[in-house]
Amino acid sequence: MSQDDRKNRVTVDIYGQAYTIVGPESNSHMRHVASYVDEKMREISVHNPSLDVQRLAVLTAVNAVHEYMKIREDAEKLEQELQQKRTE
């Protein structure tokens, strides 16, 4: 998702600021993603109250990428297991 000129456009609130996000996904998916990011930023700020918003947002991105890489690894393992089952 980005701020370019693709299909759907939705304005969301993340950590008190408005963002217009644009993408081929449904508005409800984009709202869901935005509210997840908002929630994560609030969670991290509770544990790190001295962080400014920029650093908070970067650490939220770091956490999201970490979660993404973990689950991508899980998906790869499942895919391998499934390949084996298919050839059994």
Residue 4 or 7: which CB sits closer to a second copy? 4
In the region spanning residues 51 to 80, those forming contacts with a second copy, defined by CB under 8 A, are: 51, 53-55, 57-69, 71-72, 74-75, 78-79
**Choice from 27, 34, 42, 87 touching a second copy (CB under 8 A):** 34
DSSP 3-state assignment of 3?
coil
Return the biggest CA–CA distance within the chain: 56
CA distance 47 to 29: 28
Q: What is the CA radius of gyration of the chain?
A: 17
Residue 27: CB minimum distance to a second copy, A: 13
H-helix or E-strand spanning residue 13: strand 8-14
CA distance 37 to 19: 12
Residues that bind a second copy in the complex, under the rule CB under 8 A: 1-4, 14-15, 17, 19, 21, 23, 25, 29, 32-34, 36-37, 40-41, 44, 47-48, 51, 53-55, 57-69, 71-72, 74-75, 78-79, 81-82, 85-86
